[in-house]
């Protein structure tokens, strides 16, 4: 997710002022970020932590807040492209990469949300 933000925010700023920018290096970075997020998410999906997680209400709320912020970033990126650059939404490899980035942010958001909820209630090992 850090790669997506690090490389995506400058691109977002350029798109906002109607400049289309993005290099092959940006596409490779985004692809690596998508693969990393997807691998981590699906590897841990549905697993119960093998250790006790203490109840940490404040930290749980912080994680839930961060999950919402990351989803706001993805939503604003989609809205910006949809309203200001609809030509980018024609079928192409770039559209597939864009959709993969949005889906990865969604998966990251779900993971943070699950961790936040786990911290809100705490858990004991199975």
Task: Convert the pLDDT of each residue in 9-40 to its tens digit.
Answer: 666 665 555 555 567 777 888 889 899 999 99
Per-residue pLDDT of 68-92, as tens digits, reads 988 888 888 788 777 776 776 677 7
- In contact, 31 and 98? CB cutoff 8 Å: no
Mean pLDDT of 90-96: 77
Could you tell me the pLDDT band of residue 47, with boundaries at 50, 70 and 90?
confident
Total-model pTM = 0.74
């Amino acid at each position: 997710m850090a790669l997506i933000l690090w490389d995506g925010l400058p691109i977002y700023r350029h798109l906002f002022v109607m400049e289309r920018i993005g290099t092959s290096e940006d596409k490779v970075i985004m692809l690596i970020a998508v693969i990393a997020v997807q691998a981590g998410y699906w590897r841990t999906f549905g697993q119960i932590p093998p250790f006790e997680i203490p109840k940490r209400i404040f930290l749980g709320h912080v994680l839930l807040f961060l999950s919402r912020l990351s989803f706001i970033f993805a939503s604003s990126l989609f809205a910006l492209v949809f309203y200001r650059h609809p030509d980018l939404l024609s079928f192409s490899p770039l559209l597939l990469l864009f959709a993969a980035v949005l889906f990865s942010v969604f998966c990251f958001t779900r993971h943070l949300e699950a961790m936040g909820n786990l911290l809100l209630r705490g858990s004991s090992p199975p």
